[in-house]
Amino acid sequence: MRRLIVTALVCGVAACAQPPGDAGLDSTGMEAAAADRAEAIVRSNCSGCHAVGLTGASPLPSAPPFREVAARRDLFLLEEDFGRGLVTSHPDMPPYRYRASEIDDLMAYFRRLEREGRL
| pLDDT per position as a tens digit, 26-79 | 668 899 999 999 999 999 989 999 999 999 999 999 899 999 999 998 999 888
Using the 8-state DSSP alphabet, how is residue 41 labeled? H
Separation CA 28–CA 8 (nearest Å) = 30
Work out the pLDDT band at 86, boundaries 50, 70, 90: low
pLDDT in the model for residue 95? 73
For residue 5, what pLDDT is reported? 43
Q: Against a cut of 0.75, is the pTM above it?
A: no
Domains of the chain by start residue, with CATH: 30-117 (1.10.760)
pLDDT beyond 60 at 90: no
Distance set, CA 59 to CA 34, 46, 87, 107, 112 (Å): 25, 10, 20, 22, 22
Phi, psi (rounded to 5 degrees) for 31? -65, -45
81 vs 53: CA distance, rounded Å? 21
